[in-house]
A and B are shown apart, each in its own frame.
Chain A
């Protein structure tokens, strides 16, 4: 084990974190918008909307992300029609292809998460809002979405972490994010174990921070969670149970 090499390459690999964040958060942001539209289309009760939405979710959840990235990057570029189209300046760039693939992938998963969140909103609240005269977008914005969002947040936090890790696949299409840079250094030093420990460690720290942040947001949006946590602790203390 070459610890000096690990220490030397840490700042170099860390320099790829910027690219990792750009890929992940651009894809998450665009994917979230897409997912909201898809979730609403799927729940709309109109077959011409729900069928394509469900089809998209099915395709992107049932195929490996590596295959999706490869087909979007190398696959689309094989067609003269694509190369001649107005989309080519965009699809020519590996960065855009990676964001597109990650976005389509997270969009499918997030649509399912949002659907689950919306389904979990108690029907009584929707009825009460209707009784107050809310409907359509207003009902969605004030009642459905905030409640659904809180419900879906733990699952979505999971999705954020999965996306940070999934962005490493962008290294297969020549992008130099954390894993890409680690691969370059491996190419120079022939030391894969050392470099993968370094890059793995960086992902570990990033995801530790992110999962804490999501948890904090959860407690902020649902203060009753903290109360129930506190009361749970008090009850256990009263019963003489050690709280770990």
Chain B
């Protein structure tokens, strides 16, 4: 009995400890938990991933208490506006369209968009003309234009899967709408299920994410150049409410710190296997 009481007291002390510092603010950060390696959910239902680790580092730096919550992608911006949480870290790119409704911190990473097919597909071994590795939509050069044109021909008439409300679905709408049939999915997982089932010929999404799924054993082969700039925005940032200027200042400062001290690079190598940091 005594032992039990002691344990209970110790637990109570632990619970009360953070409360002792009444000044410390609690920030609720939402993530999707279905976009590895940016964010994912482990077998026990806990949120893990690059952004979860980065969020903890940033919060430590900002000297705030962080609570990371899971939120389905298609409601992630409306729920931020409804004040269910204060920030979004969910592989969300900073785009003009999103900036109309919410605000963003400075970017903390970026990953080019890629097309992918099943490994046995004829396009899996497609060679990009001129060996163009990256197409920057805001700085197109003649070789990039040629590559884009050839790519358009190669995928003409195919059905392409894409996740809803993403820079990738925006790009298909704006540049390839009359070239391919687009089918939108609520999650990347369902999109890849349909690629494996052969219901879509190709998928379009974040290269880092597709690589992670391919490494995990899904039948995915990326092909063609990576896309960035323009519709693809200025990289991935923390989504914030427009009226939360002080929180933006705090995140901007903390991200700058994480860039300068190599925290982002270190976490990126750990989760992605390559460097996704902006600097």
Contact = CB atoms under 8 A, between A and B. Distances in A.
Interface string B49-89: 00000000000000000000000001101100100000000
A183 B186 CA distance: 10
B193 A74 contact: yes
Given A187-B164, A190-B101, A83 B197 contact: yes
Interface in B177-203: 183-186, 190, 193-194, 196-199
Nearest to B184: A174
Nearest to B186: A172
A78 B219 CA distance: 12
Nearest to A186: B74
Nearest to B75: A192
A187 B164 CA distance: 7
B93 to A, nearest CB: 15
A193 B190 CA distance: 25
Contacts of A83: 197-198
A187 B194 contact: no
Contacts of A174: 183-185
Q: How large is the interface on B (under 10, 10 to 19, 20 to 34, 35 or more residues)?
A: 20 to 34
A78 B78 contact: no
B193 A77 contact: yes
B196 A78 contact: yes
Nearest to A94: B199
Contacts of B185: 174
Given A74-B194, A77-B193, A174-B184, A183 B199 contact: no
8 contacts: A74-B193, A74-B197, A92-B199, A184-B184, A187-B74, A187-B164, A187-B184, A190-B101
Interface of A: 74, 77-78, 83, 92, 94, 172, 174, 183-184, 186-188, 190-193
Interface of B: 74-75, 77-78, 81, 97, 101, 164-165, 169, 183-186, 190, 193-194, 196-199
